[in-house]
């Protein structure tokens, strides 16, 4: 809730600018209500109070959520909400063993501290935490240490430490007093390097404490709204007490009603109001309303205003402010929003998602947060230019930072192609993805990704420079998936097992195929029954292939794959398809001194020895044959093992030379036959294999 001022008869009420839920608590509470709504039939637990506010916790419990304080109290298989304070790793381990669905609402700032402490402990550094002993956030952080961490609750405790190791690492609870932490830092810096001290107090907490200190210094009475169990609230109470003698902690409107008569007696003029990070805005408003309605003089002649007038006066629209508004209408270019001003504000329509349902939002009077870009008075009235994307960017920037810290994947939409990569968008935050980080293989066609939504891991988040720089990687996620699949493959692989794979790369000696996280090799000789010079003659990168395991070596991580099928072999079942004695027809494809090869089927050649062509002795097949000539022949021999077929043309229709050409009378059949089985046949088989 933003700060505001109301002048009431006799005094002025001033509220701090930063009051109410912080980002972490607000996110946790919203998530709690959302989980309840989406899982009405499920048992849902909150592990510890979601926020240190009895009203919020009571409302959630009334709606069916269950409260427990130890993971052992949770039933197996239920939904468990982790609050913004976070938990020790052992708690998540217990819940995982119980097969619970964990909804982690740990604040990003708290997660960052866990990461720092975990790393420090792994490296052997003693860990010190400035914070409240026993506070849930501190307990969770301490859980990251194998040995116990040292919790320091005050500057005095720090001074009393007998020894501070020079390699120690110091962090702070996010809601610890910034003033106290500063004093401790000044003392500790005399003993250790500055780089070993991490300022992990939440920036919202620091702003809240600073604003509260300023407000308390200029107020006669300070009202701190919140719970005694909230560390954040009690820090604010201590800050106010140091600066304002009349400081009161209230939790409900009834608590403040009894104080009003005393304030009248003391002639109070200025009342300051602040609230802890666990306090809902609704409670803050009710408390202020009670002060406003009960603190005024009831004289009808007075000029006092009521609470409704006061609330309306708080959100004075100003440039660069973030306010809430209700969608009222839209046209081709703009969406119009009621921001509690005499004039409506307008937002460029393209700041909304393409599938945003404007009619539904207007009918339901949907409320959104908007940023005031400019306010200008014109002849036509006040012109208010608003931005939704500016607010979305701030929120989504925090989510991206949290995703970077926690190594959590996010889904982005590819909006643009740039040199050597693409730009993914997450709610207004641009994320650069280099072409080498899109797939496991290098991508050449970047345009194909435009408009697609992909999941990436944030690998760089640099907010220190003038322009936010964020990079992401899809390849990292794919590699993680690949490693998990590879383990499954190696656990179940066996010779003969078949897989559907994808060709990943080609070499001169074969093709590498991904069979689900593991690459296997199809040797070039295994790609085809025919002789090929390069795997690209059969397959291309990206082709789906069905393969089987020939052999594997788990130690060397090598897998040899088979691809060609027996039924595709031209010699498959050849002795039945082309039996000895059959008459076949084919085309002369090659000729040598010893005979001619005749193609009977694609990739299936038979040898007709020179002695089996004509009734007369030929010097060479070319004396009577030409390539491309079709001939009929009788099958003399079929041998699948040696992959050869012998045929005879002359046994069907001999082809003799034209009269006058040189030719010798053929030898008797019984003398010619042995020649078929000797050297010429062997040479023919050799030639066939070579081809």
Helix (H, G, I), strand (E, B) or coil at 631: strand
CA within 13 Å, CB half, 308: 0
H/E segment holding residue 591: strand 583-592
Q: Are 140 and 86 in contact (CB under 8 A)?
A: yes
Q: Between vectors from CA 444 to CA 415 and to CA 404, what angle results, nearest 5°?
A: 50
Helix (H, G, I), strand (E, B) or coil at 18: coil
CA quadruple 547, 549, 554, 559: dihedral sign: negative
Distance CA 426, CA 390 (A): 13
Distance CA 130, CA 573 (A): 83
- DSSP class of residue 441 equals S
Q: Are 261 and 294 in contact (CB under 8 A)?
A: no
| Edge-first strand listing for the sheet containing 127-130 | 150-152, 127-130, 169-172
Strand partners, 498: 548
- Alpha carbon distances (Å) from 38 to 32, 33, 45, 666: 10, 9, 14, 96
- Whether 122 sits among the annotated catalytic residues: the reply is no
CA within 13 Å, CB half, 373: 13
- Alpha carbon distances (Å) from 581 to 213, 633, 648, 688: 110, 10, 10, 21
Q: Which of 49, 92, 137, 351 is catalytic?
A: 137
Distance CA 642, CA 649 (A): 22
Strand partners, 545: 501
- φ/ψ of 167, rounded to 5, equals -105, 15
Q: Are 131 and 151 in contact (CB under 8 A)?
A: yes
- φ/ψ of 362, rounded to 5, equals -70, -45
Question: Who's near 3: CB < 8 A, 6+ residues apart?
Answer: 14, 15, 16, 17, 18, 19, 211, 314
- DSSP class of residue 77 equals T
Closest CA to 409 of 489, 498, 478: 478
Identify each DSSP E strand in 276-352 by its residue range.
322-330, 334-338, 345-348
- DSSP class of residue 200 equals -
Q: Between vectors from CA 168 to CA 166 and to CA 173, what angle results, nearest 5°?
A: 140
Strand partners, 560: 521, 551
Tokens of 40: 């009405």
Distance CA 184, CA 156 (A): 9
| Residue indicated by tokens 């140091």 | 242
Distance CA 211, CA 208 (A): 5
Tokens of 414: 């590819």
Distance CA 524, CA 511 (A): 7
Tokens of 204: 């919202």
Closest CA to 99 of 84, 114, 116, 80: 80
CA within 13 Å, CB half, 199: 12
Give start and end residues of each alpha helix (H) in 496-622. 574-577
Q: Are 609 and 675 in contact (CB under 8 A)?
A: yes
Catalytic residues: 137
């Amino acid at each position: 809730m933003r700060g505001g001022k109301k002048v009431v008869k006799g005094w002025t009420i001033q509220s701090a600018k930063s009051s109410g839920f912080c980002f972490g608590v607000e996110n946790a509470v919203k998530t709690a209500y959302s989980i309840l709504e989406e899982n009405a039939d499920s048992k849902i637990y909150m592990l510890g109070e979601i926020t240190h506010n009895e009203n919020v916790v009571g409302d959630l419990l009334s709606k069916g959520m269950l409260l427990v304080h130890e993971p052992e109290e949770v039933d197996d298989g239920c939904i468990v909400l982790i609050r913004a304070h976070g938990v020790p790793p052992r708690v998540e381990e217990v819940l995982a063993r119980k097969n619970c669905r964990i909804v982690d609402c740990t604040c990003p700032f708290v997660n960052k501290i866990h990461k720092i402490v975990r790393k420090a402990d792994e490296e052997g550094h003693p860990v010190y935490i400035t914070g409240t002993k026993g506070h849930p956030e501190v307990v969770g952080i301490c859980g990251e240490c194998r040995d116990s961490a040292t919790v320091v609750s005050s500057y005095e405790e720090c001074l009393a430490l007998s020894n501070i190791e020079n390699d120690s690492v110091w962090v702070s609870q996010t809601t610890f007093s910034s003033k106290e932490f500063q004093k401790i830092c000044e003392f500790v810096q005399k003993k250790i390097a500055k780089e070993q001290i991490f300022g992990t107090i939440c920036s919202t907490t620091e702003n809240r404490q600073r604003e509260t200190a300023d407000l308390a210094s200029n107020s006669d009475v300070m009202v701190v709204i919140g719970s005694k169990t909230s560390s954040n609230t009690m820090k604010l109470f201590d800050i106010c007490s140091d600066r304002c003698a009349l400081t009161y902690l209230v939790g409900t409107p009834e608590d403040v009603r009894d104080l009003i008569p005393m304030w009248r007696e003391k002639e109070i003029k200025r009342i300051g109001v602040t609230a802890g990070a666990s306090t809902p805005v609704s409670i803050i408003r009710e408390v202020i309303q009670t002060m406003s309605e009960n603190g005024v003089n009831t004289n009808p002649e007075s000029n006092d205003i009521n609470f409704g007038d006061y609330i309306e006066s708080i959100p004075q629209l100003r440039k660069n402010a973030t306010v809430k508004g209700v969608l009222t209408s839209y046209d081709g270019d703009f969406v119009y929003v009621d921001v509690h001003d005499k004039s409506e504000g307008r937002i460029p329509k393209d700041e909304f998602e393409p599938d945003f349902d404007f009619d539904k939002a207007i009918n339901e009077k949907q409320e959104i947060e908007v940023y005031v870009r400019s306010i200008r008075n014109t002849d036509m009235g006040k012109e208010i230019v608003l931005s939704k994307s500016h607010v979305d960017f701030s929120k989504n920037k925090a989510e991206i930072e949290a995703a970077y810290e926690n190594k959590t994947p996010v889904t982005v939409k590819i909006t643009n192609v740039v040199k050597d990569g693409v730009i993914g968008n997450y709610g207004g935050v641009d994320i650069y993805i280099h072409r080498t980080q899109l797939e496991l293989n290098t991508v050449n066609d970047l345009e194909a990704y435009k408009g697609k939504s992909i999941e990436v891991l944030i690998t760089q988040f640099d907010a220190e420079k003038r322009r936010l720089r964020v990079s992401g990687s899809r390849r990292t996620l794919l590699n993680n998936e690949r490693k998990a699949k590879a383990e499954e493959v190696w656990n179940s692989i066996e010779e003969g097992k078949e897989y559907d794979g994808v060709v990943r790369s080609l070499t001169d000696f074969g093709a590498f195929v991904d069979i689900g996280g593991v690459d296997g090799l199809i040797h070039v000789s295994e790609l085809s029954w025919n002789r090929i010079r390069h795997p690209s003659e059969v397959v291309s990168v990206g082709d789906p292939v069905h393969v089987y395991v020939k052999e594997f070596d788990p130690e060397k991580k090598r897998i040899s794959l088979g691809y060609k099928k027996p039924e595709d072999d031209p010699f498959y079942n050849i002795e039945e398809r082309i039996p000895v004695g059959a008459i076949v027809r084919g085309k002369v494809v090659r000729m040598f001194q010893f005979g001619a090869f005749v193609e009977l089927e694609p990739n299936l050649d038979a040898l007709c020895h020179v002695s089996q062509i004509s009734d007369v002795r030929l010097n060479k097949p070319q004396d009577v044959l030409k390539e491309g000539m079709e001939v009929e022949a009788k099958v003399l021999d079929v041998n699948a093992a040696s992959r050869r077929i012998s045929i005879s043309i002359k046994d069907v229709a001999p082809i003799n030379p034209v009269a006058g050409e040189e030719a010798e009378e053929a030898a008797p059949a019984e003398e010619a036959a042995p020649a078929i089985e000797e050297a010429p046949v062997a040479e023919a088989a050799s030639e066939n294999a070579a081809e």
